[in-house]
Amino acid sequence: MTVSEFSFELFPTKTDVPEFGVSGPRAGQFHTPHGSVLTPAFMPVATQASVKGLSPEEVRAVGAEIVLSNAYHLYLRPGVSTVHNMGGVQEFMGWNGPVLTDSGGFQAFSMGALRKIDDDGINFRSHIDGSAHFLSPKLATQNQLDLGTDILMCLDQCISFGASREEVVAAMERTHRWAEMCHQHHADSGLAKRQALFGIVQGGTFEDLRDASTRFIADIPFQGYAIGGLAVGESKDQMYRTTEQVASRLPQDKPRYLMGVGSPEDLVECVARGIDMFDCVLPTRVGRNGAIFTKSGRVDITKTRFLEQREPVEQDCDCYGCRNYSAAYVCHLFRAKELLGARLASIHNLRFILRLMANMREAIWEGTFEEFRREFHENYVPTSEAARQEQKEKWLRARGA
C-alpha cells in the first residue's frame, strides 16, 4: 500500500489491565510515504545517514523499519542541498524505509563551549572545521523538509540534569516559543501532511514544569509528541516517573516518542508506560566496545571465558553472527582488533533490541504484557546504576557539556 500522508492508528488488543492506567502499553502503526512502522518501535541511529559499520541491507535484516538521522550533522556534512539534490536522505543512503531526523537541539546541548543559545536560535561553531553557523527554529525545520525525512523534530533546548529550576524554566519556555515557530513554518511549507512534525516536551524532572510543558506542547496540533530532556543523568526512577507523568497527559491518538532511550530494561518499562517510539546509539556503541546483549544481561565478549565457547553468544538468537559464528571467534576478533567483531556485535545487539520490541508488540496484542514484563525482569540483570551514571558522566565530560 502506498500512502501520501502521515497517519497513526492504535490496534485493538486483548484485555490486559495496565498498571499505569491511561498510559499503559499500546500497540499500533504509523504510515508514511516511505512505508509503515509497527509500534512500539525502536529506531537504529544513522546519525550521518549511516548506522556505524552496517549497510542499510543489514539494518533492514535485523528487523528495523525506520532509522533516525541527524539534521545537524547532515547540514554540516555533506550539506542539506547535496542530500536534497541526490533525491532526499532515503535515496542518498540507500534506505528503503521511513527516516526520522533530530533537529540538532541535543547536539547544541552537548557542544558546550562551542555554542551560544538565545531566543532567536543557536550560534555555534562546527566541530569539523570551526566555522561559524546559526540555527533558527525556521531553518531547523526547513533543513529537515529539504532532507525529505518522514518525521521532523522541532528545535528544542535540552538541558542537563542538575540544572537549577530557573535554568530549566528558561529552557522550557524557549522550547515552547521555538515549537510555535517550527509549527508555523511547517504548516506554511505545503508539505505538512506528507512530512510529519513532532513537538517536544521539556521541563526537567520538575513535576509541575513537565505538566506545564505537556499542556503547552499538546495544545499545538503536531502529528506526534516527544519527551525530551531525559537520559541525561537522572536516575531510572526519575526517568520512569517523568515518562509516566507526561505520557498519561499526551493525546491518546498521536504517537509518543521517548528520545534517546535504548537500554533493554528501559524499553520494557517505558512501553509499560505508554511510549510508542524510541531511539538510542547504545546497542551499536556498546557493541563496538565488546558489550553483547543477552537474555540475562550484558556480557563482555572479550573475556577469556568466551575463547573456549563453541556455541554462539546466544544460542536461540537468529542474528547473522549467532547463526554463523562461535562466541570464541567473536572474542578472537575483538582481541585481534578486527573490524568484523564490532560489526557482528552491532548486528547482534540491534537484532536483540528489535526482537524485544517485536515480542512486546505480540504480548500487548495477546493481552499478556504484564506476564512478559515480569519474566523479562526475572531473567535480565541490568547494568548497575553506578556504572551507568559513570559512563554517562564520562560521555558528557568528553563533549564539554
Distance from CA of residue 118 to its chain's centroid? 26
Provide the 3-class DSSP secondary structure of residue 324.
Answer: helix
Spatial CB neighbours of 366, under 8 Å, sequence gap ≥ 6: 13, 14
Using the structure block, give the residue that is written with the C-alpha cell 495496565. 18
In terms of C-beta density within 10 A (0-12 exposed, 13-18 middle, 19 or more buried), how is residue 246 classed?
buried
Backbone angles phi, psi at 55, to 5 degrees: -85, 160
279 counts as catalytic: yes
Backbone angles phi, psi at 377, to 5 degrees: -70, -25
Q: Which residues contact 340 (CB under 8 A, 6 or more apart)?
A: 333
Is residue 102 annotated as part of the catalytic site, yes or no?
yes
- Residue 398 has a CB neighbour count (10 Å cut-off) of 9
Q: Answer left, alpha or beta for residue 120, where phi above 0 means left and psi between -120 and 50 means alpha.
A: alpha
Catalytic residue among 16, 102, 146, 266: 102
Count Cβ atoms below 10 Å from residue 112 Cβ, excluding itself. Answer: 12
Distance (Å, whole) CA 25 – CA 165:
31
Catalytic residue among 118, 150, 279, 316: 279
Dist. CA 158–CA 170, nearest whole Å: 11
The full DSSP string for 6-17 is -EEEEPP-----
Question: Which cell numbers hold the place of 191?
Answer: 508539505
Q: How far apart are CA 134 and CA 35, in angstroms?
A: 33
**Grid cell listed for 330:** 567473536
The rounded distance, in Å, linking the Cα atoms of 220 and 304 is 55
Could you list the active site residues?
102, 279
